[in-house]
Amino acid sequence: MNEWLIGAALAFVVLSATAAVLTRDPARQAVVLSALGLGLAVLFAVLQAPDVALSQLAVGSALTPLLILLSVRKVSRRPSGTDHRESGGGKEEG
């Protein structure tokens, strides 16, 4: 039973990590990274590492994506956007 859970969580982590790398738009990547963080937290929990899972849950699924979104908002606020579309104003970190 536990083996299956580990296998499923591991597969999800591998897939979402690949998806996070292949998502070229940073604002979208932040969302995929958030899903990856959540998947890693579940994997660490089934690997019997609750301390790391707790850490990963707070950092990987909230803090890192938030920092990336804030940077995207700061960086993409410019007249001649080069290669990234506007991520929209407002409170995207809500």
Partner 1 sequence: MGIWPYLAAGWVLLVALYGLVTSHNLIHAIGCLAVAQSSTYLLLLAVGYRRGGTAPVYSDLTPGTRPVVDPVVQALALTDVVVGATVTALLLALTIQLRKRHHTVDPQALTGLKG
Partner 2 sequence: MTARTRLIMFLAAAAVIAGFFAAACSRLPPFGTPDHPYAARAVAAALAHRTANTVASVNFDIRAFDTLGEESILFGTVLGATLLLRRARDERHRRAEAERVMPTTRLFGTLLLPVTLVVGVYIVAHGQLSPGGGFQGGVVLATALHLAYVAADYRALKRLRPLTFLDVADSLAAASFTLVGLAGLVAGGAFLENVLPLGTFNQITSGGTVPVLNAAVGIEVASGLIALLAHFLDQAVELTDPDQHETGGD
Query: Which stretches of the chain bind partner 2, using CB under 8 A?
Result: 50-51, 53-55, 58-59, 62-63, 66-67, 70-71, 73-74, 76-79, 81, 86-91, 93-94
Helix (H, G, I), strand (E, B) or coil at 59: helix
- State the DSSP string of 4-44: HHHHHHHHHHHHHHHHHHH--SHHHHHHHHHHHHHHHHHHH
CB 65 within 8 A of CB 34: yes
CB 73 within 8 A of CB 87: yes
Contact mark string toward partner 1, 22..41, x via CB under 8 A: xxxxx--xx--x--x---x-
Q: Which does 66 bind (CB under 5 to 8 A by kind): partner 1, partner 2, none?
A: partner 2
Give contact residues for partner 1 (rule: CB under 8 A): 3, 6-7, 10, 13-14, 17-18, 20-26, 29-30, 33, 36, 40, 43-44, 47-52, 55-56, 59-60, 63-64, 67-68, 71-72, 74-75, 78, 82-84
